[in-house]
Homo-oligomer: A and B are copies of this chain.
Amino acid sequence: MLELAILGLLKERSMHGYQLSKRLTDSLGGFWRVSYGSLYPTLKRLEKQGAVEQVFDEQEVGRRKNVYRVTSKGEKLFQELLEEAGHESSSEENRFRVRLAFFKYLAPDTRIRLLEKRRAYLEERLSTIKTSLSATSERFDTYTLSLMQHGRDSTEQDIAWLSGLIAAERGAAKPTREATKRREARALRRKERTT
């Protein structure tokens, strides 16, 4: 995941480690605080793999900075990591967000595939939560119950958000007026079935 994030940021502009950590912590939504214990080893790993390389600025005499640039090998790796379907785990929460932050580098149909995969996973999880809640709601204490209810509500909102993104993506993919209408109708029907 860090490799993906680093490559994505370096694609936009060559940077050194500290700049990357700032961009990752501040700009990328603030949902992930990257540690140096991850960042610097990952940079070295990427360099060893030939995915990034150091840029040496001659006139810079001041303090030591390791500025990195993406190589063509790194571009390739970036695309692979970006398209890689996730493993649906807890760390996949962040992984998905990082991926979304670089979605502009993906083809529209790949974007739709990834969004739908994520939505399918959330829908599965939602139904699990709902089953858990309706089956044994008396067994849970107030806090666990509230936690699960909140989990259910959040998941529903995440799904709605994803559906919006998918719809927008479909609308932008083939701007044929008739096809769009048919697609939206299908999406609506599908939504009504699963709700």
| Residue ranges of A at the interface with B (Cβ–Cβ < 8 Å) | 26-33, 89-90, 93-94, 97, 100-104, 125, 128-129, 132, 138, 141-144, 146-151, 153-154, 157-158, 161, 165, 168, 194
* Whole-angstrom CA separation of A70 from B93 in the bound complex: 32
* Whole-angstrom CA separation of A18 from B128 in the bound complex: 20
Considering only CB atoms, which chain B residue lies closest to A31 in the complex? B151
Flag if A128 contacts B31 (CB, 8 Å): no
User: Of B27, B33, B90, which one neighbours A132 at CB under 8 angstroms?
Assistant: B27
User: Of B28, B90, B165, which one neighbours A94 at CB under 8 angstroms?
Assistant: B90
Flag if B144 contacts A101 (CB, 8 Å): yes
Considering only CB atoms, which chain B residue lies closest to A144 in the complex? B101
User: Of B30, B93, B101, B142, which one neighbours A143 at CB under 8 angstroms?
Assistant: B101
Flag if A165 contacts B144 (CB, 8 Å): no
Flag if B29 contacts A148 (CB, 8 Å): yes
Q: What residues of chain B lie closer than 8 Å to A168, measured between beta carbons?
A: 142
Whether A33 contacts B100 in the complex (CB less than 8 A), given A27-B138, A146-B165, A165-B146, comes out as no
